[in-house]
Structure 1
Amino acid sequence: MSAIIGTTQYLCYFNQGPNGLPFNDDAQCSGPTSIVQGGITASMPGGSWVGSLASGLLSDKFGRKVSIQVGAVIWLAGSTISCAAINIPMLIVGRFINGLCVGICSSQVPVYVSELSPPRRRGLVVGTQQWAITWGVLIMFYISYGCSFLEGTKAFRIPWGFQMVPALVMCVGLFFMPESPRWLARHDRWEECHQILSAIHGHGDLDNSFVQMELQQLNEVCALERDQADVSYLDLFRPNVIWRTHIGMFVQIWSQLTGINVIMYYITFVFGMAGLTGNANLVASSISYVINVVMTVPALLYVDRIGRRRLLILGSVSLTFWWLLCAGLMGKYGSPAPPGGVNSIAEESWTITGKPAKVVIACSYLVVASFAPTWGPVSWIYPPELMPLGLRGKAAAMSTSSNWIFNFALSYFTPVAFVNIKWKTYLMFGIFGIGMTAHVFFCFPETKGKTLEEIEKVFANGTSSPWKMAMGGFRSIDSDKEESVQGIKSEQDPPLHVENSNKEGGATGTVEAV
């Protein structure tokens, strides 16, 4: 949206300003009002909130892979409606349907990827998913920018139509991918689970020691859950789980309150207030997406070494500084915009010029540079690691729904905030940064280097304070893996193998030593 909402073609086609309703071709069209533009932008995260809540039920019943494919099909439908939109309500409906897909996929893709990943590389692999998202954002921005030179509605219909292509590729490509071995284990499909684990961890060797260790851990976890009734969202708030639920939800809430989507969605508005117009604004805005791609790479390299907790604190401290600096500059050197607004912002807002404006632009880039290697990938890596197997799908849905409901709120109210509280919008995000730093320090434990089953044991057995754990409370998987494997090798029983047995009421599988 950020490359489109400032173009003449978009502003005139969806015009609500003084030049007439609804679709005036006058080059001076002011486009939708701030509150309507907020609604257009927020319609997608609004749908994402609904989709993320539904994804837990879908994923637990039909599997991680199938739920992602369902999301891709929904995306095709929403994109078709958006591409064909002839008025604002139709555009909002199309984007809301798109959001259903985003909610499903943003909840279940991290779960799917984390459950397929080797423990020592889980941060890298799940972080690479976030890096892929930054590439998607960058590519779509430049496609939209290139289409802005086309005449008429082609300027926005082509990019809105083109976004169907990757959804189609994903839907078809997933037919050739395995299902999550942990989902298969929970549904007693042990033979398939064993095959997939051996492909991931043992190069196809079914008797690989680490594969046997993973099977044993999975069997222990599933044995504890086998006699329980189907879990519901209410189980996320049981006394022994609610602490983890709160952490998973807040890592997503805080990731939105970093203010990153003020930059991602409305950077043309921000740069418009700083005096940039037309193509200069779009080109300058595109740099933020390049920074987003480049600065995600350090997280991929170091998230499994530095850990989740340190990156979150580093990110929140730096984000707080940049937002407060912007607020100070805007408050001291800025002034109310003239009647009619400035550049791509249709209503009265705020404006700043000269060297302070250049610093505000630089700080906007630094916000992205601080978010991309920290909260960007870690907020997706962290939540699936926290929860027990039986609750993981619903927990991911709950945490992601927290992301999208706050995304919705910020998308909707940011244009209104620019008009009403003006420069204090920046101050608001600086204050959020202080809050998130304290919350992470006191409440967020470190999870790097552990298998998902080992993390479950840490929470089940109780731990010391998160800041004490960060100084040595968690042992690395490098030492644990060797110890666990040696333990398996030294047992008197021969290697584990998978047996399937049919019992009354359905087929169940067990992992037994024989």
Structure 2
Amino acid sequence: MSRSTSPEDIFTLIQGEARVILISIFIAFSQFQYGYDSAAVSGFQSMPGFLAVFGYVDPTNSLGFGIRTSVQTLIQSLLQLGGFLASVFIFKFGTRISNRRGLWAGCGFSIIAIILQMCSVQFAALYAGRLILGISNGFYLTYSATYLGEIAPTHLRGSAVGLVTFQTSFGALIGVLIDNYTTKYLSRTAYLIPLGVMLFVPVFLSIGLLFLPESPRHYVRLGSDAKAENALRILRGIKDQDQLVAEVAAIREAWILENARSENIRLIDAFRGNDLKRTVLSLCCSIGQTASGVIFFSSYSIYFYAEAGVKNEFIWVMMSLAIALTGNMGAFFVMRFVERRFLLSICSLVNAIVMFAIAGVYTRLSTGSYTAAQVLVAMGTLFTWVYGVGQGPVLWALTVELPSQRLRSKTVGLATGCNYIFAWLATYCSPYFINPTALDWGPKYCYIWGTSNLILAIWAFSVIPDVKGKSLEQITGSMIGQSKKTTDESVVAS
């Protein structure tokens, strides 16, 4: 915005964009599944009812059961592998699938995966269910983020895409909440109830998507300006025909500009010319999600707290997630008024300090120390809050904003796939670092995540371009202009 914005201006702006905000919240709900599942399955590893089926009897453990490190790694890492497979498919065929159809595909895979995990006590079925659920997450993440980025007006785009982080945290909170009340059951009911509740996500999304159009940019790509105008009318409540025509014309102009450089879209196009820079930036932003350490905390928080000697770990994790939600909600406003690079750099630096603090305390104090446990809970809560207010929303927004319009679904799919590779590596290796039967680093494992956050902060400050306040078409124009300027200067120099 060109002038300073008062609280009254903000309220008026939100009121005027209520429709697109509600639609964005609904689309972002697809990420509720990822957060819910990560937290719920993390809780399963402390449930006697789950461990009696997929663990082993251990009289020395306070629960009476233990779980093998190999099982821990597969439960979480297969989820990331499934997401990677979905991303590879989307990168190959993403431009042929609309956002709504991609989300419906995610719903189908989700229902199959949940039923498979609920109906069998065999490891093969459990692992297959985890893999298929990961495929569902891959479709959900790519197509929800792309849809949000394409339907939101410029001033709301970062905040709308940032809702993905809010829904992930909200899902995690509900997952831990339900686990807390079902962990008392000693039968399979303990984990069947949390799994059954998750069916609400694909069913609710499948029905709601029937009443929404595709994004206006999708219709422009198909050459249907009339449908694009109608989509804008439905999604954003615009009634002024002149405004509708002008917005669709701007989208079409950017689309024509991009296609003038290449008539056919191929995989190699993402790595040619100016698109190479945009692809690399998008990939790095997506990988930054894992570099922040959020995958580690979301996948192993309850187990991690328990092994570190924190009592009532379910309650503490719920409190941490509830506080983190305030950061997610605050991000909706912060993202609109704070420059992306500055926000990401500061939040990454703060979380680097948080991670080093956790590791440092447990280097000096014993695992069972009450003081160390207090520090772990406090710093863990601060980490999730800072991630929610800055790192998560900014990284997701940039992943969607930076690719060119003609390659957006492919690039976002590829970026998501790269993130899933690193997330798989993190979830696969983490148990070996923190498990007492392996390296037994415990909270000292945070030294690694402190370093990765520090690298993320330096990279963000040095490399991230300024896209705040620019439409997707303006970003395309500026990036193409920069590329042309560089090319012209090279020619002159020659």
Q: Answer whether TM exceeds 0.5 for this pair.
A: yes
In the alignment, which of 70, 73, 76 is matched to residue 108 of structure 2? 73
2:489 is aligned to none
Asked if the contact 2:363/2:444 (under 8 Å) is kept, the reply is yes
C-alpha distance in 2, partners of 1:215/1:202? 15
In the alignment, which of 266, 272, 288 is matched to residue 238 of structure 1? 272
1:217 is aligned to 250
**How far is the alpha carbon of 1:258 from its aligned partner?**
1.2
**How far is the alpha carbon of 1:254 from its aligned partner?**
1.7
Question: Letter of the aligned partner of 1:180 in structure 2?
Answer: S
Unaligned 5+ segments in structure 1 are 20-25, 335-350, 465-514
**How far is the alpha carbon of 1:295 from its aligned partner?**
1.4
**How far is the alpha carbon of 1:226 from its aligned partner?**
4.7
C-alpha distance in 2, partners of 1:27/1:272? 11
C-alpha distance in 2, partners of 1:158/1:262? 24
In the alignment, which of 314, 327, 342 is matched to residue 282 of structure 1? 314
Question: Letter of the aligned partner of 2:44 in structure 1?
Answer: I
2:42 equivalent to 1:10: no
In the alignment, which of 115, 120, 135 is matched to residue 85 of structure 1? 120
| Structure 2 counterpart SS, 1:188 | coil
| TM value normalised by structure 2 | 0.84
2:484 equivalent to 1:450: no
2:200 is aligned to 165
2:24 is aligned to none
Asked if the contact 2:107/2:206 (under 8 Å) is kept, the reply is yes
Asked if the contact 1:274/1:361 (under 8 Å) is kept, the reply is no
C-alpha distance in 2, partners of 1:413/1:288? 24
**How far is the alpha carbon of 1:18 from its aligned partner?**
5.4
1:425 is aligned to 445
Alpha-carbon deviations, 1:53-100, whole Å to 9, x = none?
223445421311111111111110011111123122211110110110
C-alpha distance in 2, partners of 1:121/1:182? 17
- Report 1:227-376 matches (<5 A): 228-277=262-311, 280-334=312-366, 351-376=367-392
Q: Flag the structure with larger Rg.
A: 1
Alpha-carbon deviations, 1:190-211, whole Å to 9, x = none?
2101222344556233222xx3
In the alignment, which of 456, 466, 469 is matched to residue 436 of structure 1? 456
Relative to 1, partners in 2 of residues 1:463 and 1:309: Cα closer, same or farther, differing over 3 Å?
farther
Question: Letter of the aligned partner of 2:439 in structure 1?
Answer: N
Alpha-carbon deviations, 1:236-269, whole Å to 9, x = none?
1113111111111111212211111222111122
1:509 is aligned to none
C-alpha distance in 2, partners of 1:219/1:333? 62
Relative to 1, partners in 2 of residues 1:85 and 1:376: Cα closer, same or farther, differing over 3 Å?
farther
**How far is the alpha carbon of 1:225 from its aligned partner?**
4.6
C-alpha distance in 1, partners of 2:338/2:63? 52
**How far is the alpha carbon of 1:371 from its aligned partner?**
0.8
**How far is the alpha carbon of 1:234 from its aligned partner?**
2.0
Question: Letter of the aligned partner of 2:475 in structure 1?
Answer: I
| Structure 2 counterpart SS, 1:196 | helix
1:397 is aligned to 413
2:481 equivalent to 1:461: yes
C-alpha distance in 1, partners of 2:293/2:168? 18
Question: Letter of the aligned partner of 2:304 in structure 1?
Answer: V
**How far is the alpha carbon of 1:311 from its aligned partner?**
1.5
C-alpha distance in 1, partners of 2:162/2:478? 23
Relative to 1, partners in 2 of residues 1:200 and 1:74: Cα closer, same or farther, differing over 3 Å?
closer
In the alignment, which of 394, 401, 410 is matched to residue 385 of structure 1? 401
| Structure 2 counterpart SS, 1:331 | helix
**How far is the alpha carbon of 1:421 from its aligned partner?**
6.0
C-alpha distance in 2, partners of 1:235/1:453? 19
C-alpha distance in 2, partners of 1:246/1:17? 48
- Report 1:77-226 matches (<5 A): 77-200=112-235, 203-208=238-243, 211-226=244-259
Relative to 1, partners in 2 of residues 1:18 and 1:147: Cα closer, same or farther, differing over 3 Å?
closer
Asked if the contact 1:48/1:404 (under 8 Å) is kept, the reply is yes
C-alpha distance in 2, partners of 1:331/1:14? 33
2:415 equivalent to 1:415: no
Asked if the contact 2:310/2:373 (under 8 Å) is kept, the reply is no
Question: Letter of the aligned partner of 1:234 in structure 2?
Answer: I
Relative to 1, partners in 2 of residues 1:119 and 1:15: Cα closer, same or farther, differing over 3 Å?
same
1:345 is aligned to none
Relative to 1, partners in 2 of residues 1:273 and 1:129: Cα closer, same or farther, differing over 3 Å?
closer
C-alpha distance in 1, partners of 2:163/2:223? 30
Question: Letter of the aligned partner of 1:426 in structure 2?
Answer: C
**How far is the alpha carbon of 1:396 from its aligned partner?**
0.8
Alpha-carbon deviations, 1:435-490, whole Å to 9, x = none?
111111111112111110000011111189xxxxxxxxxxxxxxxxxxxxxxxxxx
Question: Letter of the aligned partner of 2:246 in structure 1?
Answer: M
| Structure 1 counterpart SS, 2:379 | helix
C-alpha distance in 1, partners of 2:376/2:63? 29
In the alignment, which of 65, 71, 90 is matched to residue 29 of structure 1? 65
Question: Letter of the aligned partner of 1:219 in structure 2?
Answer: R
| Structure 2 counterpart SS, 1:425 | helix
C-alpha distance in 1, partners of 2:164/2:454? 28
C-alpha distance in 2, partners of 1:357/1:141? 19
**How far is the alpha carbon of 1:112 from its aligned partner?**
0.5
Q: How many residues align?
A: 438
Relative to 1, partners in 2 of residues 1:201 and 1:174: Cα closer, same or farther, differing over 3 Å?
closer
C-alpha distance in 2, partners of 1:98/1:397? 17
